A and B are shown apart, each in its own frame.
Chain A
Amino acid sequence: GAVVSQHPSWVICKSGTSVKIECRSLDFQATTMFWYRQFPKQSLMLMATSNEGSKATYEQGVEKDKFLINHASLTLSTLTVTSAHPEDSSFYICSARDIEGYSYEQYFGPGTRLTVT
């Protein structure tokens, strides 16, 4: 089955620093990847849609200058949380859709738990 990896799986950083999270599709190609954020006991909230070779599309209320997304290849998208603050502490999950897929099924990465101190 389709596998999506994320790295790192967890990270602790100091306030004001930047953190980069990688999302890779391991056995398929994905023109579109999605970045979600999930706070405790809440549902996934779509942050942005990452399109290979073009700019990401951000959801309302998500600062594009704070959450930098780069989708340089069909198997890799990165999310950089710039100048992180404690309120950015969350579970960040990416997902990808197979380029060959005819449905909207998504394959999720294992998530990255970010703690900003």
Chain B
Amino acid sequence: RKEVEQDPGPFNVPEGATVAFNCTYSNSASQSFFWYRQDCRKEPKLLMSVYSSGNEDGRFTAQLNRASQYISLLIRDSKLSDSATYLCVVISASKIIFGSGTRLSIRP
């Protein structure tokens, strides 16, 4: 089993739709969690950190479920510019593990 798993997608949704994807992790001692966004041929950019209490930043909501060992990202009112690959990152004992990414494509 991979340490961090994501549904690779692609998710193809219409503009304005709400889309959510999860990322599961295997190490229950994992400490920190992040969502990164990566555009084609570009470096990943931090989208948001994921806190135990959940956090929201505009149209984006990230949640952590420690009991089931997954994090989620919800995007509301999706825009064309949201099209990208979303990577989850899990930190365990200072080891940084990237998920394989979920490709999201927003269509007009």
Identify the B interface with A (CB < 8 A). Answer: 31-32, 34, 41-46, 49, 87, 91, 94, 96-101
The interface on chain A, measured as residues whose beta carbon lies within 8 A of the other chain's beta carbons, has a size of 19
Return chain A residues, CB-CB under 8 Å to B99. Answer: 43
Return chain A residues, CB-CB under 8 Å to B45. Answer: 108
Q: A105's contact among B34, B41, B94, by CB below 8 Å, is which?
A: B34
Question: In chain A between 73 and 111, which residues have their CB closer than 8 angstroms to a CB of chain B?
Answer: 91, 93, 103-111
Instruction: Across the interface, name the chain A residue whose C-beta is closest to B43.
Output: A108
Count of A-B contacts with CB under 8 A?
42
- A43 and B98 contacting across the interface, CB-CB below 8 Å: yes
Q: A111's contact among B42, B49, B91, B97, by CB below 8 Å, is which?
A: B42
Q: Does A54 contact B (CB under 8 A)?
A: no
- A44 and B34 contacting across the interface, CB-CB below 8 Å: no
How far is A93 from B49 in the complex, measured between Cα atoms in Å?
A: 21
> Can you list 5 pairs linking A and B with CB atoms under 8 Å apart?
A44-B98, A93-B44, A103-B32, A103-B49, A104-B96
Greatest chain A CB density within 10 A among B32, B41, B43, B101 is at B43
